[in-house]
Amino acid sequence: MTKLLLSTLLLFVSISINAQSKKTKDQNVIKKMCGCFEVTFNFAETFNYSNDSTYKPSKNKVDKALEWAGLIEDSNNKISIQHLLQVGNPDKPMIIKHWRQDWLFENTYFYTYNGDNNWIFEQKDKKKVKKQWTQKVYQVDDSPRYEGSGTWVHVDGKNYWENETTAPLPRREYTKRSDYNITLRGNRHEITNYGWVHDQDNSKIIRKEGKEDVVLAKEKGYNTYVRVADSKCKASADWWKTKNDKWQLVRNKWNEVYGRNTDLLLETKVEFKELYKHLFSDEITKKEEINTIIESFVKNKK
């Protein structure tokens, strides 16, 4: 073997090992978002740009909760984490299915929110997402919320990921506000010595077809996840064991819908009820029922 060939081979091996070790480090920090956490949700409207003199900014919001983040899928290119809220009497708590986050490596398929319960499908070039992780965030009923791609950064003892993407209004807003229709979310997830932080710099956007977006206001979000003993979330972990089969059926159906690779327009209500109210019913457990309910909310069937 010539020296040139040997050096080329060693360089290739070195690059492969470094790339693999970076991906492994990414996977390890993503999974550090799993466990039992005392969460503090902080949101404050910081600036407003309205021309309306009667404009009233959203009130500051601070909420605390106990949240279980369980690892439900861990493969080479995908990590899925289900969040559950645990509220009420610690001896007999109420468990509420919360949001879900999927992390996909070098994902090229995206659904980007465009307002009015409409997500635009886009397939990106592989080069644009090389070594990146897409975070896909889902509603409590596993319908889409928002997603974006970025690179996990490990430098100076810090581990963080950043992205900016459009999203529907959060629940704390859409029940009270109708003067804007898109949240432009600046998301930063950072692993800390006490758990992790979801740091947000958001814009409240008015989007109308054929017109440029208008920024109505800015918002700061700072949600801290402080790790506590997993035993505090035992009720949530046990509850999920009894519910996972049902929600796997829900995820399977949504995966089929997302796999159509076309723009997605969803109904807000069917039979006067939101999707989560249909699916949260303990009477709904069978695959056929679940598929029929979800399909009834898809307006642009292919």
60-117 pLDDT per residue, tens: 999 999 999 999 999 999 999 999 999 999 889 999 999 999 999 999 999 999 999 9
The structure tokens listed for 93 are: 């708590």
- Measured distance CA(260)–CA(302) in Å, rounded: 7
User: With contact defined as beta carbons under 8 Å apart, do 207 and 115 qualify?
Assistant: yes
Tell me: the pLDDT tens digits for 266-288?
999 999 999 999 999 999 999 99
Tokens of 190: 């950072």
What phi and psi values does residue 4 have, to the nearest 5 degrees?
-65, -45
- CA atoms of 296 and 250, how far apart (whole Å): 14
Residue 290 and residue 279 in contact, taking contact as beta carbons nearer than 8 Å: yes
CATH tag for 32-240 (out of 2.40.128, 3.40.1350, 2.60.40, 3.40.30): 2.40.128
Distance CA 184, CA 160 (A): 19
pLDDT of residue 13: 45
At residue 48, the pLDDT reads 95
Determine contact, residues 61/42, Cβ cutoff 8 Å: yes
Return the pLDDT at 300. 75
Residue 249: what pLDDT?
98
Tokens 């796997």 correspond to what residue? 248
Supply the pTM of this predicted model: 0.92
CA distances from 55 to 51, 179, 217, 289 (A): 8, 10, 11, 45
Measured between alpha carbons, how far is 205 from 213 in angstroms, rounded to an integer? 6
| 261 and 110 Cβ atoms separated by less than 8 Å | no
Give the chain's residues under pLDDT 70.
1-20, 301-302
